[in-house]
Amino acid sequence: MTYAVVAYVLWGTFPVYFSLLKPASALEIVAERVVWCFAFLVVVLAVRRDWTWLGPTLRDRRRITLIVLAAVVIVANWLTYNFAVNSGQAVEGSLGYFIAPLVTVTIGVVFLKERLRTAQWVAVAIAALAVAVMAAENGHLPWIAVVLAVTFSTYGLIMKFVDTPPVEAVAVGMGAMFVPFAVVLLALQANGSLVLFHANPGTSALLIGAGAVTAVPMVFFSAAAPLAPLTTLGLLQYINPVLQFLFSVTVLNETLSAARWVGFALVWLALAIFVVDGLRSSRRSASTSAVELARP
């Protein structure tokens, strides 16, 4: 669970980083993330000097299919999110990440037959109420929110079945996306809209650094996905939008309506219930294990 928490905390701080990448377009930001993420991971793998995994991975059609599918889904998520932010629809974007945990938990219960404890069901119900409050304020469920929720939840589901170490899995996925998005950068350069190396050095450095910023939480999530129940991953996802909320209020000085304040308060309550229940469950499991070990 620690890996998942780290991944969600890092993802929650992304708005801080990406707000510094203007005037790059949403398409260029995503292309830079893919290209430099792949380059960063290749360097990491080269330093480790272990390529024995590559042959078996490339020959395993099922594994490659899952990794590439996961990469396509997460890149679609990035494109949608950056479009939302750059088109002034960040509120709808944040709503999508509030819906995503509910979709993830639903997938875990319906398709993977995962079970929730009573306290976890209460947390899910409160989180659903929070989403309903915020959706009601908007007056409709926007397509941006739906796409973000479905793609992010689907990515988590796929990664549960990827039997490849995290760094290697993300590297292969980004490798599959490398050529198409390298072509995108070349096209942007050709029409004169590329920001990389044409803006101030600081912005160019941040665009290149987006590769490492993208890779690190993906690696942590890839490590967590096969180990943690999908229901746990789903509820922990609320760390991401909550941190984005704090950034919007404290850094961007955005004002929120009473309905959104109620929604965020409900999310915090759901998270608190989930965390307390998880700690109690861990203590009970530890106590049971200790008793069994003490038996003659």
| pLDDT tens, residue by residue, 12-55 | 777 778 778 878 888 999 999 999 999 999 998 898 888 888 88
**CA of 135: how far to CAs of 91, 102, 118, 129, 290, in Å?**
10, 14, 26, 10, 47
Complete DSSP assignment for 35-50: HHHHHHHHHHHHHHT-
> What is d(CA 58, CA 67) in angstroms, rounded to the nearest whole number?
11
DSSP 51: -
Residue 290 pLDDT > 60, yes or no? no
Residue 294 pLDDT > 60, yes or no? no
* First vs last C-alpha separation in the chain: 33
With CA atoms as reference, report the closest residue to 15 among 85, 79, 91: 85
CB of 138 within 8 A of CB of 92? yes
pLDDT, position 30 = 93
How does pLDDT run across 148-167, given as a tens digit for each residue?
Answer: 888 988 988 888 888 888 78
Among 98-107, 201-210, 237-246, top mean pLDDT goes to 201-210
Q: pLDDT grade, residue 291 (50/70/90)?
A: very low
The pLDDT of 249-269, averaged and rounded, is 75
Residue 271 pLDDT > 50, yes or no? yes
- Mean pLDDT lowest among 92-101, 196-205, 209-218, 247-256: 247-256
Residue 286 pLDDT > 70, yes or no? no
Q: Compute the radius of gyration of the chain from its Cα atoms.
A: 20
How does pLDDT run across 163-200, given as a tens digit for each residue?
Answer: 888 788 889 999 999 999 999 999 999 999 999 988 88
90-114: b or e for each residue (b if 16 or more CB lie within 10 Å)? bbbbbbbbbbbbbbbbbbbbeeeeb
Residue pointed to by tokens 């979709």: 103
